[in-house]
Amino acid sequence: MILEGHDIPNEFSIIQQCLYVNAFVPEKYWVQYPAHISYFNRDGLISIYDEAEWEMRDMISSYPFDLNLFNENTNYVRDRSLGKSCHRARVKIDNLLFSASTENAIELSRIRAKLGIGQDLTGFFQAK
Kindly state the average pLDDT of the residues 90-115. 97
Are 115 and 10 a contacting pair, CB within 8 Å? no
**For the chain, domain boundaries:** 3-127
User: Among 4-8, 50-54, 72-76, 117-121, where is mean pLDDT lowest?
Assistant: 4-8
Q: Give the mean pLDDT of the chain.
A: 92
Between CA 61 and CA 6 the distance in angstroms is 11
* pLDDT higher than threshold 70 for residue 3: no
Instruction: Name the amino acid, one letter, at 67.
Output: L
- Helix (H) or strand (E) holding 89, with range, is helix 83-100
Distance CA 22, CA 16 (A): 10
The confidence score (pLDDT) of residue 69 equals 98
